[in-house]
Structure 1
């Protein structure tokens, strides 16, 4: 059985931080940045800080600490501007990924400051940060292996009077999207991002995607429609994405990623761990295989570190799990935000559903295993159990 519904809803509990979306994996529930809410916490009297569960960025100027580790940490931070100490204090930051604290938000104007940080686990960072109109925010990132890394959030000015691009007669997007570029590899990259609509190029720009920065452009498109996105690195790596923005999707995004392994990806959201809800009504364990596939007609290709590999119609994630009796969840990896097909297979059969895994456009899937599943751990021989899959998509509103 395959049932599919579309539900427009307000995303729930994620709290916004004025420094932004921090993690490529296991990202928190997505909440549009307007409005944002925060949760005040106490700290030493030297400064006031705010701890949040992060989502997307805004254009504020300042310094924050973010945690991509799944453990809580204590961080000592000192910020100096020449002979002047702008901040000194010790910060407790909750377990992540996606937990952040605002530290110093009064660094307007071009200047160079020195940021020295030390983690209780021993990692240290001594970083010279030049504050400019484009480099408006710096994150001190606690990595998943308890190291410290700097990450500048850069917002370049685009001298293009025709941006954001508008399609005549098309509906306006509620929150016109720009592109965000992240480099999680160990080598800087220069990337050219191009956007086409109906065979015409509407945007092209080269960006220096250094490993210590994240680039967020102003809005690039203002109209619902389908766009072709091409990203090319100087060394020849390429990735393409059919950027479809239906009228019910009011908070689209364009994500460009150089992954840790050097692969180049482009899509409608960041990599994350997704999951399906499983209801096993039998008394025995059942084996499940979840396969995430880009539809064969998707105009999508990507490069890995070794060369070009077309991904249209190819498996991009396959997960094998055993579901115990009762309710459980099965997780699987989404390599980049996109609209996929998800196939759930057991010994009793298989079902395929459309699976949107984009920023503010996602899918909930419930898998029901009825009765006994032949050959799945109970010694049965013959497919006397039933598989049913229910899915619905939801968007932020």
Structure 2
């Protein structure tokens, strides 16, 4: 058996090469141009590296990448075509992260099987590969010199994380195991078959775009996922490739080979081309040669490198200012005649927004006349070039409103306090149930347009009748949604309640607090004990309550929840839990379980019991049998001397005279 560790180097490999390419290409028009004819395998510019890829690294689901790193690096197109390399985003790519100029060319073969072999064969720019110097990964051991059965000497070391590395005659090899390196050298020296012998479709796929600087051929099924008319067995291979044809021109190639030309229908060809239409680029060649479909598009690299003006940031909407200023946060100088400013999707007057400029770049300010602006206006700057990217911002407005609620009359008053004139036709009051107001999807329980036909100015207001407490009100612009709110408020219950607890007397003290000197009917307030009305209520002691009034429920055990609700809808205004003000901890060491007093008041040990839970078992340990004095902060008591099981989860519940005090835990129950 071959030694194959887990392929941690390969984590992150893309599952769909065809899908990656589809978003990068487009078809605008076509010419009938046939790709270059296949040449002899020895003419392939990667023939020397391919010869060192052993046959058993590939099967029916394999993928192969041949990448001319230095060409792509010189053209600065790694970001554009990097995803075409099957090592992209994997640990293999990270091996050279410390020095991106190390690798000149590389060939990689792998498949999706986590236990399958993988190999990358590469050459360096210097022609002198030193693993200890040139890769950004720790070696598990020092390099050792080995002699292969073919007579070739090579340097070898296992990587600290996963995989192995070897160096010979200026060529580097990274693989899953020593046996894969051994097979690679045997293939390179002609003593074992190489991958091109095992998978002839790799040769066919590589030859489809023989001069490309990056080529990835996959024999795994990508086609049935992309084309409904195809089954997994209908395809031979898919290829993605790219060529730096000129300093500022990059050609992107895409190919699909089927097992028989009878599968190539007009509908399939149309769908193949449709997969390439999303990028807005012009196709320079496309062809159907028997069962092979190919297409090539060109990218203008100069245009690709150009950063469109973007990162817009809108200023404030101020009635005293003639314009709203829109800051351009980034972008290269771009002619104004290539740009278009839109307000809510409609083109805006260039004479205003460009303010006489011929070009726009990062740091510039665009203008929108205040009379043309409104809250939540969507502002877009569109670059009309082939690779131009639109950018957007929204004009938010921080207007002042006041909301008043008359509890007795159940009326809600909303008043506009700002100076910016608002079209009353677009202002909507939306009322939500307060419990639903923050839900992602919720509908208002009521809406109204009180200012229709008027322009709002400072002091204009409206009053809504029959508004219940526990209501959230939103002042909205054009749509009764929270996302278009100009202001919001909640109708809060009257008063707040606090709960204190005295452990020794088992008494809770509940106190009401009001913001002013008002009094309220006592019947509006109900004290709950674990959700049920308590035996003692304010209504039993008088008709009204005011700020500072208290109530003292008695015989309240530890753990009881005391809460206060207001009104017919039982709106909560405060709560608290009866707490012993004592905490405990557990330690387990060498089979000894110890209870620790972790803070709070001292406890007499008389009547104090530790109830030890070990899985489904329960053991009561009276503390007065283990210690004499009060159990105080920092004190410890041994509960179990020899725990029979290794590291079981533990829970200890401490009670005094049968009443719960607190729990302590060790491990997950």
Select the structure with the greater relative contact order (CA < 8 A; seq sep ≥ 6): 1
Would you call these one fold, judging by a TM-score over 0.5? Answer: no
Larger Rg: 2
Kindly indicate which of the two structures has a greater share of residues assigned to strand: 1
**1 or 2, which has the higher helix percentage?**
2
